[in-house]
């Protein structure tokens, strides 16, 4: 028979989820690691990755891939959209209510079972605009 595979609440896992939820900057694993080190000086990057992966699997966090392939993480799992700055790379949330009609419509005419969508904008952020597009 199978093992129980019960999930344990360690200080590392707890702190990771907590800090991620606190941040609104969609940090990379490494950025989050640096922040966590202030509380837990010996926490390893590998552990951060392991816990982030668990959190994503359990639906407690989102994993967002950047154009360069690096991942950013989001502690808010409600459906929402993002916008990325082409100049400085920052990733912000967007104030826009979720599109609810497109999924059923696509499902009808496509033959796919449509289970979700992600929408990401790109452009230049206010800060970079005020600095002439370079920041």
Partner DNA sequence: ATGTTTGCAAATCTTTTGCACACTT
Partner DNA sequence: AAGTGTGCAAAAGATTTGCAAACAT
Residue 78's binding partner, choosing from a copy of itself, DNA, none, with beta-carbon cut-off 5 to 8 A by kind? none
Burial pattern 67-76, b for ≥16 Cβ within 10 A else e, equals eeeebbbbbe
**Strand-pair partners of 81:** 94
Give the alpha-carbon dihedral of 16, 22, 23, 28, to 10 degrees.
Answer: 10
Q: Does 86 bind a copy of itself (CB under 8 A)?
A: yes
Q: Does 61 bind DNA (CB under 7 A)?
A: no
Nearer Cβ to a copy of itself (3/100): 100
CB 12 within 8 A of CB 49: no
Residues at the site binding a copy of itself, with contacts judged by CB under 8 A: 63, 65-67, 69-71, 83, 85-86, 92, 94-96, 102-103, 106-107, 109-126, 129
Residues at the site binding DNA, with contacts judged by CB under 7 A: 3-13, 28-30, 40, 42-47, 49-51, 53-54, 69-71
């Amino acid at each position: 028979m199978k093992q129980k595979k019960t999930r344990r609440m360690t200080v590392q896992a707890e702190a990771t989820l907590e800090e991620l939820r606190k941040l609104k900057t969609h940090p990379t694993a490494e950025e989050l690691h640096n922040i966590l080190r202030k509380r837990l000086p010996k926490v390893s990057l590998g552990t951060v990755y392991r816990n982030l992966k668990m959190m994503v699997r359990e639906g407690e966090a989102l994993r967002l891939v950047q154009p360069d392939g690096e991942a950013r993480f989001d502690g808010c799992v409600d459906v929402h959209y993002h916008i990325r700055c082409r100049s400085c790379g920052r990733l912000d949330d967007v104030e826009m209510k979720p599109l609810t009609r497109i999924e059923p419509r696509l499902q009808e005419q496509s033959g796919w079972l449509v289970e979700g969508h992600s929408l990401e904008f790109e452009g230049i952020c206010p800060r970079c605009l005020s600095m002439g597009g370079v920041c």
